[in-house]
Amino acid sequence: MKTIILIPFFLFIIQDVFAQLETDSLQLVTTLEEMFTVCNSSSPEINGSDVIIFDRLAPYLLYCCEDESRKGKEAFDYNKAADRRQVDQMGTKIKNWLDSYDSYSVKKYMTQTKKDGTVWYALGIEFKNKNTNEEKIFAFLKIGGSFLLGDID
């Protein structure tokens, strides 16, 4: 008799887990698309410079530099010179991929739990053009309900 009572409980738990995974994956794809829009809409500074300002990208990127009090806990702050360099480098990298390929598509969604209990969320993105297909893995960490890009492999 106990088995019959537990089956609905486990089905409810499994349903809840799958619903959260679907919500997270949709939010993750939305975040990625927002980042790509920011990178595509960024343009060189005035005065004929080739330098592109990616200030609107900073809130999407996980701080991963020297300051241990911020590392892995918050987004970059574009008002800080060291952060600005990192954000502009990542923005340039993403914009170059977007400019080099005709299209992209999301191929897979994954999660990985590290030994310390940190859960990383990842999207496998395939960039395509006539001659080449290239897949990149975009890894995100969920901080305060938002996904922040931590790495691209």
Of 63, 66, 90, 57, nearest in space to 76 by CA: 63
Per the structure, how many domains does the chain have?
A: 1
Which residues touch 109 (CB under 8 Å, ≥6 apart)?
A: 25, 28, 121, 122, 123, 124
CA distance 38 to 48: 21
> What's the mean per-residue pLDDT of the chain?
83
Give me 113's structure tokens: 């739990």
Report the CATH number at residue 100: 3.10.450
Residue 17: predicted pLDDT: 42
Query: Against a cut of 0.75, is the pTM above it?
Result: yes
- Of all residues in the chain, what percent carry a pLDDT higher than 70? 80
Determine the structural domain holding residue 11 and report its residue range.
2-152
